[in-house]
Every structure is written in C-alpha cells, then in structure tokens.
Amino acid sequence: MTKNFSKLFFLILCPIIMFGQTNHTLKKGHVSYLSSQNVYVKFDGTDGISKGDTLFMEFNSSLKAGVVVENLSSRSCSGKILEGITLKIDDVLFAKISEDVETVLETKFKLTQKDSLQISNFKKVRSTESNSKFRGKFGIASYTNMANYKIRATQRWRYKLSYDWENIANSNFSSEAYFTFRYSTYQWQDVKSNLGKALKIYTLSFKYDMENHNLIFGRMINRNVNNIGAFDGISYNYNFDNNEVGMIIGSRPNPSDYGLNFKMFQTGLYYARTDTLNSRPAQSSVAIFEQTNNFNTDRRFIYLQHSNFLLENTSIFASSELDLYKRRKGLVENTFDLTSIFLSVRYSPIRLVSVSASYDARKNVIYYETYKNLADSLLDAETRQGLKFRVTLRPLNKLMISGNVNYRFLSGDPRPSKNYGGNISYSRVPYINSSTSFSFYTLKSNYLDGLIWSLRLRKYFFDNLLSVGISYKNVAYKFVNVNSELNQDILSFETSIRLFESLYCNMNYEGIFDRTKTFNRIYVNLSQRF
C-alpha cells in the first residue's frame, strides 16, 4: 500500500516539479563554420538537442543566448545567430540538455503498464504544449543630427519589428518577419502620401510544413540560393533522403525602394544535396533562374552554391553565377559568362590560430538603410571586394591579435587597391577590469590614400546590467585625383542598460570634428525581446 501510494504521489508531483524547476546539464560544442546566414557548431553528439533550442555562450561568468538551432546531424547542428551576437571559429557554445522525465521515473520506480501509459500521455501533452515557439523583438530608435555649419538639424525615427513563429497554435504553419518604419520629422507629409518611402519589409513569409515537403509564400530568402537575395512569391521544397528539390515563382523587389514590383518577374528551379563524411557535412546546390523586366526576358543564369567541412578544422563556402542569356542596351546576347563569384576558406588547426582567405567578385551592395559615417562607408566600399587574407591569434586566454590584407584590381583601374590592417584586443585589462581594443587600417586605391586607426574601451557594471564605452578614431584620407583631403577626429560615447530581463536601452553619441566643422549624432534605442 505504501509503495503504491509512493508511486502515485511521485506521478502527481512530477509534472509540478518539471514545470516549476528544470534540471539541465551543459553540452559543450565549438563553432566550426560561419556563413553569411548561419553558424555551424560541432558536438561529440547531439542527443538531447532539438530544432528550435537555444545555444548559449559564456559572457562574464554567465550564459548568454547566442544561436537558435535550425538543423541537426548526429554530431553537429546549424542555426541563426541572434542579433547583437558576434562569433568566431572555435568559439565555445553550450546546449542545455533537460533531464528526461521517463528516465527519472524508471530509475526511481518499477513502473506498471498503467503508470507507463500515464507517463506517455503526459509526455504527449508536454510535446503539444511546447510545439509552438515564438521569438521576437520590437525596437524604437531616434537619430538626431546637428552641425555648426549650414546643414539642417534633423531627427529620424526608426521602428523595428522582427519575429520567428514556429508551428503557430500547434499547427503546421510557421511565419517569420523583419521590417522597419523610418522617417525624418520634416518628411512626415511625404511619408503620408507614399508609405513605401518609410516602410521597408525585408522578410514577411508564411510556411506550411508537410511530411517531406513545404510551401512558403511571401517575401523570403531561400537558404539554398541565399546570395540571390530576397524575392516575393512562392517557394516549394521537397525533401527525399539527402536531397532537396524546389521551385521559386515570384518577383524581385524594386531596386529603388525595395517595394513590390511584379513586372520584375522571375522563376527558378533548384536541386540541393547534403552528405556527411565522418560526421562532417557537405552541401551543394544548383539552380537555374530566368528574370524578366516588364515581363520580357532580361536575364537567364545558373546559380551554384557549395559548403563543406570535409577537411579537418577547415570550412569552405563558395557561390557563383553563370550568365546564359542577357539583354544589354536593348541587344540580346546568348553567352556563357561567369558574372559573380565568392569563395571563402577558413582553417583553424588549433584554437589559438585561425586563418581565412576569401575572394569576392560579387556585385556591389545596395544599402537601403545605413548609418555609417563617410569614413567608414569608404572603408567598407574599398575592402569588400577582391582577395582577402586574415590571421587571428590567441596567445593568451583574454588576448586576441588579428591582421588582414586586401587586394583588388579591376579592369579600367589605373592602379590596384592594396589595403591592410590589424586589431589587438584584451577582454580584462588588469586594475580597471575592462575590455579594450586598438585597430588600424591603411587604404591605397585608384582614387584614395588613407589611414584610419581607433582605440576603444568598454567597462561593465552591476553584473553586466550596465556597460559604458568610449572610443576615439582618427581619419586621414587623401583623394589623389582631385587634390582633396579628409581629416577627422571622431569621438564616441555609448552606454547600454538592461532595464528588465528582456528590455534594453542603448544610447550613443558620436562627434565628428575636422578643422572647421563639427557634426554631432545622438542615438537612443529602446528594444524589447519577447
């Protein structure tokens, strides 16, 4: 009687314990590969990790959410990096593994068939209740610009909403979105007459999952052809074994304002395959696209993409586009031209050393939103394309040293671009207990000679509830073709406050000073995660 009562008491108490307090063990993994969209993490085994779980990184003696798991294999997983998180090859991430209810019960008691049925039903209820997962972020930001010369003082507002909702109401439907609404106060009348000037929808899609296939409609980026960018329309995907085939029907966003433009219709077919060798994944995909302008065929091309971790401690990513048909200045050309290529290789033989090389010959990036100052915009434009090498060393636990070289030579340039730079950072400076970094970059292109260097210091207070940073940057650019110079001192102050568990406030001041002019920018942002 006492034994049966004990079993009954434990069965009743177990759900209360499980929902009131969860026991976890930490499973350690290492970042093995980084792409533009995803991070890959290698474990000894992925038992206990599920799609939708969060991986954590160690941050000032506590755990901070860093990655959401999207795909799994027997010894690795891949997922999205959360906003505000920066990862590098060989960084350590942890998965929280929950203790299994059935294992606990069977260890403590010898269960009857009736008890097992109750546990099975209980597990089904828990599975149903946790099937739907929602993550989102809402933010309000203000940008104020002021200067001591003849330029209008402006204030810009930016509202941001993003979410990822899996299995809505425990159904097969999922949705994700990311859009912003931004405007300057003096442009409000223009915004009311043309909402598209302020509203930018970068992603808004709905997915319906079936057993081996899914249907997605809306604005999306397909991971098998991610360098194609976003499109509006329908994507159908069918999976069998290690293969995936799909079809894309829709239109490209309007290049002027990123709005809808159904006249830029496009269709595409793709095939992708994922294989593993010694638990190391390799994924390849090929697609053919036809794009139109005003419903007349404008371009037909093949898209190729490949990524793998087949070599030990090495990750490779490559993508390219081959034009088969294009219309230029009203003339039709049937051709076979390599018009875009990107290749990236990372090698990390030990945790203390990481070497990477990349070649980028993709088209120029269009920024629909950017808040970079002139100096940083020129640096970004000069270093994105071309051949790039980077070496990162960690001689001490808290010390990181990196150096990079960039070379680019385009047809028509009077001279090649040769750029190099470096960074030294230390996470815990003795006595002041703060992180500091020093970086520099030299630029030598067909129109610009320059040097930019900066010093940054950041300190955390009250168990990381408050952080304060200060930085100084010196810019010395000389434009060789027009005999003009840009010399600036840039001073920045920034602070971040965690008001509640998921409510953050960030404030930043940037002052740009040259010989006669001063330009000030004040940034305030309030964001809520949910």
Number of helices (H), then strands (E), belonging to the chain: the values are 5, 28
Per-residue model confidence (pLDDT) at position 114: 45
For residue 399, being part of any structural domain is answered with: no
Candidates 154, 152, 156; CA nearest to 142 is 156
In a domain, 421, yes or no: no
Those residues whose C-beta lies under 8 Å from the C-beta of residue 336, and which sit 6 or more positions away, are 322, 323, 324
354 bridge partner residues: 392
- 172 contacts 208 by C-beta, under 8 angstroms: yes
- Structural domains in the chain (count): 1
Q: Would you say residue 296 lies in a domain? A: no
Question: By residue range, what is the domain housing residue 86?
Answer: 2-129
Closest CA to 467 of 84, 126, 141, 11: 84
**Residue 385 to residues 358, 375, 406, 418, 448: CA-CA distances in angstroms?**
9, 17, 8, 12, 16
Q: Confirm whether 79 is domain-assigned.
A: yes
Tokens 């001041």, residue? 509
Q: Cβ contacts of residue 341 below 8 Å, gap of 6+?
A: 318, 319, 320, 321, 359, 361, 362
Q: Residue 259: its pLDDT value, please?
A: 86
CB-based contact 382:407 (threshold 8 Å): no
The reply to whether 255 falls in a domain is: no
Distance CA 207, CA 175 (A): 6
CATH of the domain at 50: 2.40.10.340
Q: What is the C-alpha to C-alpha distance for residues 57 and 86, in angstroms, rounded to an integer? A: 10
pLDDT of residue 366: 62
Q: What is the predicted pLDDT for the residue at 389? A: 93
From first to last of its 530 residues, what are the pLDDT tens digits of the chain? Answer: 444 444 433 333 333 333 334 445 678 888 877 765 678 888 877 877 877 788 888 765 567 778 888 877 767 888 888 766 778 777 888 887 754 433 433 433 344 444 444 444 444 444 445 578 898 999 999 999 888 877 777 888 999 999 999 899 889 999 999 999 988 888 787 887 778 778 889 999 999 998 889 999 999 988 778 777 889 999 999 988 889 999 999 999 988 788 888 889 999 999 999 888 777 888 899 999 999 888 888 889 999 989 888 888 888 999 899 999 887 777 787 888 888 888 999 998 888 899 999 998 877 666 656 667 677 777 776 767 789 999 999 888 889 999 999 988 776 667 788 889 999 999 878 777 788 999 999 988 877 888 999 999 999 888 778 899 999 999 998 887 777 888 989 999 999 998 887 899 999 999 999 888 899 999 999 999 88
> For 207, how many CA atoms within 13 A lie in the half-sphere containing its CB?
19
Distance of CA 283 to the CA centre of its chain: 19
Based on its alpha-carbon atoms, the radius of gyration of the chain, rounded to whole angstroms, reads: 26
Q: How do beta strands 448-461 and 466-479 pair?
A: antiparallel
At CB < 8 A and 24+ separation, what contacts does 59-63 make? Answer: 59/464, 60/460, 60/463, 60/464, 62/463, 62/464, 63/94
Is-contact 367 257, C-beta < 8 A?
no
Burial of 111 (0-12, 13-18, 19+ CB in 10 A): middle
User: What one-character-per-residue DSSP string does 86-138 give?
Assistant: ---TT-EEEEEEEPPHHHHHHHHS---HHHHHHHHHHHHHHHHHTS-EEEEEE
Question: CA 432 to CA 430: how far, in whole Å?
Answer: 6
Q: How many residues does the chain have?
A: 530
18: in domain: yes
Q: Please choose, from the candidates 411, 407, 413, the residue with its C-alpha nearest in 3D space to the C-alpha of residue 382.
A: 407
Could you give the angle at which helices 101-108 and 2-20 cross, rounded to 10 degrees?
Answer: 160
- Residue 140 resides in a domain: no
Would residue 23 count as lying in a domain? yes
The residue behind tokens 């053919």 is 288
Q: What is the DSSP string of 248-310?
A: EEEEPPPTTTS---TTSEEEEEEEEEEEEETTEEEEEEEEEEEEEETTEEEEEEEEEEEEE--
Cβ atoms within 10 Å, residue 231:
24
pLDDT of residue 350: 85
